[in-house]
Amino acid sequence: MREKEILGFVGEKRAFIGNEALQILAAREDWKEIIEECIKENEFFIKPESVEKKIVRTKIGLVEKEEHEQPAGHQPEEKSGGETADSDLHYRIMSEYDVTNQSFSQGTVQDFINLFQDKYLTLRKMVQLHHSLSPRPISRLKAMPKKEQFDLIGMVARKWQTKNGHTAIELEDMEKSCIAVISKNERSLEPAREKLMLDDVIGVRVEKISDEMVIVKELFWADMPQRKMKRSKHDVRVASISDMHVGSRLFLETPFHKFIEWINGEIGDEKEKQEIKKIKYLMVTGDNVDGIGIYPNQFNELSIKNIFEQYAKFSDLILQIPKDIQIFIIPGQHDAVRWADPQPAIPERVAPKLYEAENVHLMGSPSWVEIEGFKTLLYHGSGLHTLFSNVSGLSYLEPQYAIVELLKKRDLMPAYGIGHTYVPEKKDYMLVREEPDLVFIGDLHHSGYTCYRGTMIIDNSTWQGRTDYQVRLGHIPTPGIVPVINLKTGNIIEKQFIESEPEKE
Ligand SMILES: [Fe+2]
C-alpha cells in the first residue's frame, strides 16, 4: 500500500526509484522527508545506498534540533503509546567468533598457510554466492581460447602500476596465479581499482589476452546482500561508549560521572528518565584504560601509573552502571592484552571485579553477540589506520565510511603486514562471517553513524581529551557523546556530556 504512495510521490517529483530503495522506504514513517532530501541534493535516481545514509543522518539532525531547543536532555524520538521494554533479556555471546581461550598460534609457516587458506575459501564462497559467478580455476587459463570471457576468484598477491598507467594485479587461487589488468580507461572499475589492497579476495569477469594474462571487465567483492534494517518487537535501547583511557591525565572524569548519573536516571526530566530505563545493553569498544608503556614517554602523561589501579578505577566506574543493563566490553590497543589482532578478552587477573559481576561480559576484539535477535559485531578498530593510509577518499572525520569498505570486503584485516599486526590463528577471526545487524567500533575517538545494506554502523566517541599526538596529526576528537539506538525504530539519539565544542585548529 505504502509502496504505491511512494511511487506516486516520486513520480510527482519527476524522479525515479528502484525496487531495493522502495522496499527500504516502505518500512519507514519518514519516507517523504528522505525522498525530499535526495531530490534537494539533485539525486533524481534514488539509490538504496543514499536512502540508508539518510535514515541515520536525518534522525540525528532532528534530535540535535530538539536538544538545542530543550537543553534539559534528549527527547524520545517516537511516542510509544505506553509500551515498555520486555523484562526478559535475550542475548547470546557468539564465542565461536572470539579468539579468547582459542589462541593456538605458534607463528609457524603452517599457521600462516592455515590463515590464508581459511580466508580465501571463506571469502571465495561469499563472492561466488552473492554474485552468482561460475569461476574457473586459474590453472585452466592456458586451455581457454583467446578473447573468451569467463570468471575467476582469487587473492590479490601483488598490485602495481604498468608503464601505461593501467593497474595490474597478480591474482592467486589455491594452485596458480595469473596477471589481471584493470584498464585506466575502464571508468566503472575506477573506485574498485583505488580500493584494492593486497590479500583482498575478489571475483573478476575477465577476457583472456594470453596464457598468463587477462583483462578485467567487472570486479566483485564478497560484500553483503541487500537487506532491510532489522526491527525489534520490543522497545529496547542499546547505548555505547568507548576509549575511556582511564589512568590518562586527559581522562574526562567529570563528564563521565555525569554519564553515570544520567544512565542511573538521576538527571534529566521525567520523559528522559523513562527513556533511559529502556537501555538494556551497553557496548564498550576498547581502550578502557590508558595502559603503561604504550608509546614513548607515556609515563608522564598518566595520572594513574599502575595498570592494576587503572583497571580498579575502570571497574569501579563500570560497576556504577545499573545492574539490569548487560555490558559487553572488548579490549583496545591500550588494554592489558596483546597488541596484535585478534585480541583476547581483558584477563580476570587485572579486572577481577568485572568477572564477578553477572551483567558484565568481557570478550575479545573482534567479537560478536546476538542481542534481541540483532547480530552485533564489536571491534576496537586497530586495523583501520592501515585502511585510511592506503585507500583514498576516506576521512577520519567520517570514520563510519571506512567500516562500509570493510563490510564490502567482509574482512576487518586490510592487508597482512603493511600496517597493524595480526597473529596467524588457525581460523581467520577478522572475517565478517555473518551479516551483522549492528557494528560498534572504537579507536578513532570520533563519532559517526551510517547504514550499509541493512547494517547499522556506530563509530564511538571517546572520554579522553585531545592528545598531543592527535594535535600533531590534526585529528579532532568528538568526546563525551553516547549514541542510544532504538531497536524498535532503528533510530539513533545522541546524548552529549560535554557542553562546549571540542577545540578546533
Ligand atoms: Fe583510544
DSSP string, 314-367: HHHHHTTS-TTSEEEEE--TTSSS-SSBSBPPPPTTT-HHHHH-TTEEE--BSE
- Indicate if 146 and 200 belong to the same structural domain: yes
Which DSSP symbol is given to 463? S
Rounded to the nearest angstrom, the distance between the alpha carbon of 254 and the centre of ligand 1 is: 18
Rounded to the nearest angstrom, the distance between the alpha carbon of 364 and the centre of ligand 1 is: 16
| 187 burial type by CB count under 10 A (0-12 exposed, 13-18 middle, 19+ buried) | exposed
Rounded to the nearest angstrom, the distance between the alpha carbon of 409 and the centre of ligand 1 is: 24
- Indicate if 365 and 272 belong to the same structural domain: yes
CATH number at residue 24: 1.10.8
Rounded to the nearest angstrom, the distance between the alpha carbon of 243 and the centre of ligand 1 is: 4
* Residue 287, phi-psi category: left (phi > 0), alpha (psi -120 to 50), beta (remainder): left
pLDDT at 101 exceeding the cut of 50: yes
pLDDT at 69: 33
Rounded to the nearest angstrom, the distance between the alpha carbon of 484 and the centre of ligand 1 is: 20
Are 169 and 156 in contact by the 8 Å Cβ rule? The answer is yes
Rounded to the nearest angstrom, the distance between the alpha carbon of 287 and the centre of ligand 1 is: 5
Rounded to the nearest angstrom, the distance between the alpha carbon of 235 and the centre of ligand 1 is: 31
Interatomic CA distance for residues 476 and 45, integer angstroms: 35
Rounded to the nearest angstrom, the distance between the alpha carbon of 380 and the centre of ligand 1 is: 9
Interatomic CA distance for residues 348 and 369, integer angstroms: 20
Rounded to the nearest angstrom, the distance between the alpha carbon of 270 and the centre of ligand 1 is: 34
Percent residues over pLDDT 90 in the chain: 62
- Indicate if 403 and 307 belong to the same structural domain: yes
Rounded to the nearest angstrom, the distance between the alpha carbon of 373 and the centre of ligand 1 is: 29
All 3 cell numbers of residue 320?
A: 556504577
- Indicate if 161 and 266 belong to the same structural domain: no
pLDDT at 432 exceeding the cut of 60: yes
Rounded to the nearest angstrom, the distance between the alpha carbon of 402 and the centre of ligand 1 is: 17
Rounded to the nearest angstrom, the distance between the alpha carbon of 245 and the centre of ligand 1 is: 7
Cell 591525565 -> residue:
249
Rounded to the nearest angstrom, the distance between the alpha carbon of 444 and the centre of ligand 1 is: 7
Q: Which helix or strand (DSSP H or E) is residue 25 part of? A: helix 19-26
Share the mean pLDDT of the chain.
88
Are 472 and 460 in contact by the 8 Å Cβ rule? The answer is no
pLDDT at 55: 67
- Indicate if 204 and 267 belong to the same structural domain: no
Rounded to the nearest angstrom, the distance between the alpha carbon of 446 and the centre of ligand 1 is: 10
pLDDT at 57 exceeding the cut of 70: no
Rounded to the nearest angstrom, the distance between the alpha carbon of 471 and the centre of ligand 1 is: 14
Rounded to the nearest angstrom, the distance between the alpha carbon of 334 and the centre of ligand 1 is: 7
Rounded to the nearest angstrom, the distance between the alpha carbon of 463 and the centre of ligand 1 is: 9
CA proximity to 170, closest of 182, 184, 180, 161: 180
Model confidence pLDDT, tens digit, residues 171-220:
999 999 999 999 999 989 998 888 999 999 999 999 999 999 999 999 99
Domain of residue 158 covers 109-220
pLDDT at 462 exceeding the cut of 50: yes
**What are the angstrom distances between the C-alpha of 445 and each of 357, 410, 481?**
27, 23, 10
Rounded to the nearest angstrom, the distance between the alpha carbon of 113 and the centre of ligand 1 is: 32
Q: Measure the N-to-C terminal CA separation of the chain; round to a whole number of Å.
A: 51
- Indicate if 240 and 204 belong to the same structural domain: no
When pLDDT is averaged across residues 265-271 and rounded to a whole number, the result is: 89
Interatomic CA distance for residues 478 and 462, integer angstroms: 7
CA proximity to 365, closest of 429, 298, 290: 429
Rounded to the nearest angstrom, the distance between the alpha carbon of 292 and the centre of ligand 1 is: 14
Model confidence pLDDT, tens digit, residues 319-336:
999 999 999 999 999 999
Rounded to the nearest angstrom, the distance between the alpha carbon of 103 and the centre of ligand 1 is: 24
Q: Is residue 504 part of a domain?
A: no
Peptide bond into 342 cis (omega under 30): yes
Rounded to the nearest angstrom, the distance between the alpha carbon of 239 and the centre of ligand 1 is: 18
pTM for the whole thing? 0.85
- Indicate if 15 and 32 belong to the same structural domain: yes
The domain boundary, picked from 185, 201, 220, lies at: 220
Rounded to the nearest angstrom, the distance between the alpha carbon of 290 and the centre of ligand 1 is: 8
Q: How confident is the model at residue 94 (pLDDT cuts 50, 70, 90)?
A: very high
Rounded to the nearest angstrom, the distance between the alpha carbon of 439 and the centre of ligand 1 is: 17
Q: How confident is the model at residue 71 (pLDDT cuts 50, 70, 90)?
A: very low
- Indicate if 340 and 381 belong to the same structural domain: yes
- Indicate if 138 and 168 belong to the same structural domain: yes
Rounded to the nearest angstrom, the distance between the alpha carbon of 333 and the centre of ligand 1 is: 8
Cα-Cα-Cα-Cα dihedral of 44, 49, 50, 51, to 10°? Answer: 100
Q: Is residue 46 part of a domain?
A: yes
Rounded to the nearest angstrom, the distance between the alpha carbon of 382 and the centre of ligand 1 is: 9
When pLDDT is averaged across residues 416-443 and rounded to a whole number, the result is: 90
Interatomic CA distance for residues 239 and 447, integer angstroms: 13
Q: Is residue 501 part of a domain?
A: no
pLDDT at 88: 65
Interatomic CA distance for residues 443 and 380, integer angstroms: 6
The domain boundary, picked from 198, 220, 242, lies at: 220
Rounded to the nearest angstrom, the distance between the alpha carbon of 304 and the centre of ligand 1 is: 16
pLDDT at 80 exceeding the cut of 60: no
CATH number at residue 175: 2.40.50.1010
- Indicate if 323 and 461 belong to the same structural domain: yes
Classify each residue of 133-169 as buried b or exposed e, where b means 16 or more C-beta atoms within 10 Å of its C-beta.
bebbebeebeebeeeeebbbbbbbeebeeeeeebbbb
pLDDT at 416 exceeding the cut of 90: no
- Indicate if 51 and 96 belong to the same structural domain: no
C-alpha 77, offset from chain centre: 24
pLDDT at 64: 34
Q: Is residue 391 part of a domain?
A: yes
Q: Is residue 502 part of a domain?
A: no
CATH number at residue 322: 3.60.21.50
DSSP string, 231-298: --SS--EEEEE----BTBTTB-HHHHHHHHHHHTT-SS-HHHHHHHTTEEEEEEES--B--SSSSTTG
Integer-rounded Cα radius of gyration of the chain: 24
Rounded to the nearest angstrom, the distance between the alpha carbon of 214 and the centre of ligand 1 is: 44
Neighbours of ion ligand 1 (CB under 5 A): 243, 287
Rounded to the nearest angstrom, the distance between the alpha carbon of 443 and the centre of ligand 1 is: 5
3-class SS at 188?
helix
The domain boundary, picked from 220, 255, 273, lies at: 220
Interatomic CA distance for residues 293 and 297, integer angstroms: 8
Interatomic CA distance for residues 413 and 429, integer angstroms: 9
Rounded to the nearest angstrom, the distance between the alpha carbon of 53 and the centre of ligand 1 is: 26
- Indicate if 60 and 156 belong to the same structural domain: no
Model confidence pLDDT, tens digit, residues 359-387:
999 999 999 999 999 999 999 998 888 88
Phi, psi at 252, each rounded to 5°: -85, 75
Interatomic CA distance for residues 322 and 385, integer angstroms: 34
Peptide bond into 366 cis (omega under 30): yes
The answer to whether the Cα torsion of 364, 373, 326, 381 is positive or negative is positive
Residue with more model confidence, 471 or 410 = 410
3-class SS at 206?
strand
Total domains in the chain come to: 3
Rounded to the nearest angstrom, the distance between the alpha carbon of 452 and the centre of ligand 1 is: 25
Q: Which helix or strand (DSSP H or E) is residue 218 part of? A: strand 213-220
Cell 540525528 -> residue:
60
